[in-house]
Amino acid sequence: MYFAALLARTEDGWEASDTELDDVETLSDLADLAREASAEDDTVLVLIEQEDAWFGVVRIDGEEDPRIYVSDAAAAARSSYGEILLTDELLGREPGDDDPDLDALDLDGTEDGEDDEDDDTTSGGGSAEAVPHGPVGDATVLDDLGVSEKELKSLSEDAVTEIAEALGASEVLETVR
């Protein structure tokens, strides 16, 4: 199970809305969805939590690029929703690093189904191995909103609720939970 909510900052405080991520395929789609939740170019937070295994915060300020924090990249990589947040840039990779390099492939005739003893060493381990265990992204994403880097990194279970409490938005978040 996962929970995702949008918190849009307004003149009157925070407004929350439940969001369905089934139609979101990219970070750009998620940013567009968040921008639609704000009438102005105010701050919008997308809070995603999956089974207390990991949580993510995406902050969109107007037309600026999204700022992202993910509590456990390895756990998020096993989730279709986490994969949206784990961009190459966030993971410190060049775009397309997880794609096989066709020039480096060893095409020695065994590719048609014959076994090769070195097969385990030549096959890539997949993109999950390149994803670090632990937090990635901008841990200062909520600093100016009252959640310090240290506090953000110490959150684990029910992180979304704790973030909402720190922002003064726990009541509006509960209405969509």
DSSP letter string over 63-97? TSPPEEEES-HHHHHTSHHHHHH--TTTTT--TTT
Cα–Cα distances in angstroms (integers) from residue 60 to residues 35, 43, 46, 55, 173, in the given order? 7, 6, 8, 17, 18
The whole-number pLDDT of residue 152 equals 95
The whole-number pLDDT of residue 124 equals 42
pTM, two decimals, is 0.79
The CA radius of gyration of the chain, in Å to the nearest whole number, is 19
- Of the candidates 42, 72, 69, which has an alpha carbon nearest to the alpha carbon of residue 57? 69
Output the average pLDDT for the chain. Answer: 82
Segments of the chain scoring below 70 in pLDDT: 96-129
DSSP 112: G
